[in-house]
Amino acid sequence: MTEEQEDERYRKEMSRRIKLMQQEQQRREIARRLMTSEAYERLMNVRLSNRELYTQLLNLIIQMAQGNRIAGKLTEEQLRSLLSRLTYKPEPTVQFKHK
């Protein structure tokens, strides 16, 4: 690979990363407008601990806002409710069959 090709590849990768960062910043700004400060702070804590869950939660919040299913600002309690719905896993049960 020539130096020019490496430079071009580097420029493309950097522009892709910048574009992703800008999109993420826009999504965070939307979340900030839709949520109370406490709820936004909790969302950022989720982001630090579980990036995949953060992405799912943010997508859900944006979809709800687009569908006009959010009246006013989303509170921390409402955010916790959304979190519990996303992370709900039924308790496994063990059944014993007697012969």
pLDDT tens profile 39-93: 999 999 999 999 999 999 999 999 998 998 888 899 999 999 999 998 888 888 8
CB atoms within 10 A of CB 21: 10
Residue range 20-38: average pLDDT? Answer: 93
Between the CA of residue 90 and those of 30, 42, 47, 50, 87, what are the distances in Å? 32, 24, 24, 20, 10
Neighbours of 48 (CB within 10 A): 8
CATH value of 3-84 in 3.30.1370.160, 3.40.50.1100, 3.40.50.720, 1.10.8.140: 1.10.8.140
